[in-house]
Structure 1
Amino acid sequence: MSSSDDTTSPSEPPTDLVSPFMNLPTELHILIANYLIFPDIIHLKLTCAYFNHLIPPLSHRELLDAELTDFAWDHDLYACRYCLRFRPAAKFADRMLRRRRRRCGRDAVKRFCVDCGLMPRRGAARNFTYAMLDRHKNGMKVCADCWDERLKRQEHLYGEVLGDLSSAYGCPSD
Structure 2
Amino acid sequence: MNTLITIRTPHTINTINTIRNLRRSAVMSLVSAVAAASLVLASAPANAQALPANPIGDTSNANGASEARPQAIDIRQLHDTLNLTATQEVQWQAALDAMRNSHAAAKMNADQMQVSMQRLIDQPVLDLNAIHAAHMKAAQADALLPEQSSKTWLVFYSGLNNDQKKVFSDALRPQLAFVAHHAARPFDPRTGL
Q: Aligning the two structures, in what range does the TM-score lie when normalised by the shorter sequence?
A: under 0.3
Q: TM-score, normalised by structure 1?
A: 0.24
Q: TM-score, normalised by structure 2?
A: 0.22
Larger radius of gyration: 1
Higher helix share: 2
**Bigger relative contact order (CA 8 A; separation at least 6):** 2
